């Protein structure tokens, strides 16, 4: 099973609100999105270098992949 980071658009009805979050999205063997993390990812690490590396991974995925609807 593969996964990556995706920007996900959330639309709430009450109150009416649209917001975006970065989620880990997991795919079927045929490459279709199957599931994602319930909550957006948090950016953390044990060092500044680790946080920057994590942000770089996220940015690379978001640049090449389209936004998903929740």
pLDDT of the residue at 28: 95
pLDDT of the residue at 60: 98
pLDDT of the residue at 64: 96
Tens of pLDDT along the chain (70 residues) come to 799 999 999 999 888 999 999 999 999 999 999 999 999 999 999 999 999 999 999 999 999 999 999 9
Among 22, 16, 28, 11, which Cα is nearest to 65's?
A: 22
pLDDT of the residue at 14: 86
Distance CA 62, CA 4 (A): 9
């Amino acid at each position: 099973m593969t996964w990556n980071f995706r920007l996900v658009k959330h639309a709430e009805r009450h109150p009416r609100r649209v917001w975006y979050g970065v989620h880990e999205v997991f795919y079927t063997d045929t490459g279709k999105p199957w599931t994602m993390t319930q909550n957006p990812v948090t950016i953390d690490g044990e060092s500044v270098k680790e946080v920057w590396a994590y942000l770089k991974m996220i940015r690379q995925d978001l640049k090449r992949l389209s936004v998903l609807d929740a």
